[in-house]
Structure 1
Amino acid sequence: MNQGVVLAKEGNHGKLTLPVPAPYKGEWHSIRFSEIPKNAEFGTISFYREHGHYYMAVPYKYETPPYIHKHTGKKTGIDVNVSHFNDAEGEHYFLHKGNNGAVNLGRVYENIKHQQQILARKLEENGQIAGKRSKSYQKARIKLQKLYERAHRMQDDAMHRYTTHLVREYDAICIEDLDVKGMLMSHVASKGVHRALFGRFRSYLEYKCKSAGVKLVIANRFYPSTQRCAACGNVKKDDEKITLSGNKKHCTKHNEYVCYNKKCPNYNKVVDRDMNAMMNLTF
């Protein structure tokens, strides 16, 4: 399908020109690129349709200089949560609230919820499911798909920015080996886990650390980073454990860690649970 395709360069304002087939007469209109094509060799051009629009993917073949990591002598552990990530610099709400110039997805999620309600109403006509072929239903469906695509791209961009920042700032990084599939089976936290992109975070971090020569440590899945005191090493057990609803015995919240070891320097002090877990992962 790419035979005879001409990639117009800067002289033609970055347009794609296709030759006119023999059976047809007249000229074809050029297709304008969103960016001026790179001055490099390109592979097979792929055309596809998505959300009612046609797109074209042009793979370029050129070599990029290898990334040279500058050693900083710093290390960190990362405690991942549904709403935020914790590292040595503090909390990062880059997936929902927005932090350090990152995006805010809260409004996009609200728009998705609203559009889902609109689509559900258009699906039903006179109490029966009969609206799938209507034009208004198809328009609402495409609009919802575009919102999902926007959220996906914003999340992906935020994840790339964060993982790149970690690789550039630290020589050694430690993360937990989370049971993502098991967490997705929970009806309570499945949506939050899906939006938090735990699996994508690990895959991005793994290949970037390998490329930059940064040491990545995967902590054991059963390592009690949340239940262990970072100051004295005491591990909470049985009714002392911190759950999603906190600790009923001592009436503490789910985000509070209190060590009751009298020899601990943090004895009876309220410490942020996520920061405590991050310090346990910092080796």
Structure 2
Amino acid sequence: MIKTHRIKLYPNATMRRAFQLLFDYRRYCYNLALESWNGMYDESLFMDDKSLRPNERKVRNELVNNKQDWQYELSARVLQLAVHDLAQGWRNFFNPQMPNHGRPRFKSKKRSRNTFTTDRARVVNKKLRIDRPRGCTSWYDIRMAEPVRWAGQLKTATVVEEADGYYVALVVEVDESVAVKAGHTVTGVDANIARFDYRDATGYQSVSTMSAKLLRLYDRITHYQRLLARKRVANPSNFRSQNYRATRAKLQRDYQKVTRIQMDLLHKFTHQLVQTNDVIVIEDLDNLHMHMNKRLAKNLHRSLFGKFKKLMQYKCAWSGVKLVMVDRFYPSTQRCSQCSFVKTGADRIALEGNRRHHTGHDQYLCYQCGASMRRDQNAVENLIQYAMVN
């Protein structure tokens, strides 16, 4: 089983300079590999020979054979793994199950994220030791904010620079078996804009994903984005002044705060679900096409439907919980959980409710058995019944 632990790093001045060199070197290797990949592909089209098509091995060998002298002073694993990331990007681009994955593009120094990956890192005396390049005399272990959470083989270490410092994502292979739970406790989670509705032992509960603090941060982000846009319009040739960089740093910090608040909420909620339930039912929502609604796109993006599904998938696998993915066309909102009547046509419940029957957005009224309940409670019950049948 593969697990990842993200830890903050506290490098000294020497290792901070080394990090910056490795960030630039990884971007250089990726761009060089993409240029070689495109050149090989164009050559295969010109010669009409499919055997000339590029792959990870061909591009890696070309970059290794044409190394400059200065490249031997930096980690060789950064080059190898940069080419591997590029090959994975092309595989994702041609994967029909990932229709929203874009084509690999050249990385810009101004807009790209500073990161590099190595598979030669080790943890020595609760400190991170990355592979020292050839001929380097001053090299230090890096203090970590906490010890590694899991014991196992360290596969890769990815160092990332963020607004408040450096972080490392340690990928650990853990040898442990998971016992599947009996399946007595079943719950369903109905994903809505700004909240998740579910049922536990005490009744129906709701978890908000749009707190007042998050709304204030979103307003500040909008304010800083407008300031930066005005500076770019006022002086398009030389807008990167000291004030521009300071405003951009504030914007990055606010984005980081938003991400941390959202992930903290999701991790606590998903942990609670897998600890208290044996079977969890969620909807396999079509996030890509849902975001095409121009009125709801921003709120749908902030509701974190896709991230919630990913967290549930790996946490259920870790805890032995059965995760049931309900088909996206299952009418959990239109179906009556009491008599199984499904509303169709003009009787359907829309986002604003149903004008024909004078019902609101959060109200469900069955036209056959007369049952009246909250719309989200009815959807949760339908999800639980789906798991019972399937």
TM-score by length of 1: 0.76
- Report the Cα distance in structure 2 between the residues aligned to 1:226 and 1:5, rounded to whole angstroms: 50
Could you say which residue in structure 1 is the equivalent of 2:207? 93
TM-aligned CA distance change 1:64 to 1:150, over 3 Å: farther
Q: Which moved more, 1:192-201 or 1:55-64?
A: 55-64
Q: How does 1:210-229 map to 2 (within 5 A)?
A: 210-229=317-336
TM-aligned CA distance change 1:249 to 1:32, over 3 Å: same
- Report the Cα distance in structure 1 between the residues aligned to 2:141 and 2:184, rounded to whole angstroms: 53
Matched, 1:121 2:235: no
- Report the Cα distance in structure 2 between the residues aligned to 1:166 and 1:7, rounded to whole angstroms: 33
- Report the Cα distance in structure 2 between the residues aligned to 1:61 and 1:260, rounded to whole angstroms: 54
Conserved 8 A contact 2:152-2:174: no
Deviation, 1:5, is 9.1
1:35-68 CA-to-partner distances (Å, cap 9, x unmatched) read: 36789876665554444x6525273757475555
Matched, 1:279 2:390: no
- Report the Cα distance in structure 2 between the residues aligned to 1:28 and 1:195, rounded to whole angstroms: 42
Could you say which residue in structure 2 is the equivalent of 1:166? 273
Matched, 1:107 2:107: no
- Report the Cα distance in structure 1 between the residues aligned to 2:287 and 2:128, rounded to whole angstroms: 44
- Report the Cα distance in structure 2 between the residues aligned to 1:150 and 1:115, rounded to whole angstroms: 14
TM-aligned CA distance change 1:64 to 1:158, over 3 Å: farther
1:209-247 CA-to-partner distances (Å, cap 9, x unmatched) read: 233322222222221111111111111122111101211
- Report the Cα distance in structure 2 between the residues aligned to 1:47 and 1:217, rounded to whole angstroms: 35
Q: Quick check: which one's helix share is greater?
A: 2
Deviation, 1:28, is 8.4
Deviation, 1:277, is 0.8
Could you say which residue in structure 1 is the equivalent of 2:258? 151
- Report the Cα distance in structure 1 between the residues aligned to 2:250 and 2:294, rounded to whole angstroms: 27
TM-aligned CA distance change 1:225 to 1:135, over 3 Å: same
Matched, 1:191 2:298: yes
Q: Secondary structure at the match of 2:351?
A: coil
TM-aligned CA distance change 1:57 to 1:211, over 3 Å: closer
Deviation, 1:71, is 4.5
The RMSD of aligned alpha carbons is: 3.6
Matched, 1:254 2:361: yes
| Aligned partner letter, 2:292 | M
Identity %: 35
Q: Secondary structure at the match of 1:156?
A: helix
Q: Deviating runs (4+, > 6 A) in structure 1?
A: 4-8, 14-19, 21-24, 27-30, 37-41
Q: Name stretches of at least 5 consecutive residues in structure 1 with no aligned partner.
A: 99-103
TM-aligned CA distance change 1:28 to 1:65, over 3 Å: closer
Deviation, 1:118, is 2.8
Q: Name stretches of at least 5 consecutive residues in structure 2 with no aligned partner.
A: 1-74, 76-117, 386-390
Could you say which residue in structure 1 is the equivalent of 2:3? none
- Report the Cα distance in structure 1 between the residues aligned to 2:274 and 2:290, rounded to whole angstroms: 27
- Report the Cα distance in structure 1 between the residues aligned to 2:180 and 2:312, rounded to whole angstroms: 14
Q: Which moved more, 1:215-224 or 1:79-88?
A: 215-224
Conserved 8 A contact 2:157-2:171: no
Conserved 8 A contact 1:82-1:193: yes
Could you say which residue in structure 2 is the equivalent of 1:132? 239
- Report the Cα distance in structure 1 between the residues aligned to 2:121 and 2:173, rounded to whole angstroms: 20
TM-aligned CA distance change 1:65 to 1:129, over 3 Å: same
Corresponding residue pairs, total: 265
TM-score by length of 2: 0.57
Deviation, 1:145, is 1.8
TM-aligned CA distance change 1:250 to 1:46, over 3 Å: closer
TM-aligned CA distance change 1:41 to 1:58, over 3 Å: farther
- Report the Cα distance in structure 1 between the residues aligned to 2:254 and 2:293, rounded to whole angstroms: 25
Deviation, 1:88, is 0.7
Deviation, 1:114, is 2.6
- Report the Cα distance in structure 2 between the residues aligned to 1:6 and 1:172, rounded to whole angstroms: 38
Deviation, 1:182, is 0.6
- Report the Cα distance in structure 1 between the residues aligned to 2:375 and 2:122, rounded to whole angstroms: 59
TM-aligned CA distance change 1:217 to 1:79, over 3 Å: same
Could you say which residue in structure 1 is the equivalent of 2:145? 34
TM-aligned CA distance change 1:49 to 1:208, over 3 Å: closer
- Report the Cα distance in structure 2 between the residues aligned to 1:34 and 1:132, rounded to whole angstroms: 37
1:54-99 CA-to-partner distances (Å, cap 9, x unmatched) read: 525273757475555665721011111111111113343342138x
TM-aligned CA distance change 1:213 to 1:151, over 3 Å: same
- Report the Cα distance in structure 1 between the residues aligned to 2:121 and 2:346, rounded to whole angstroms: 69
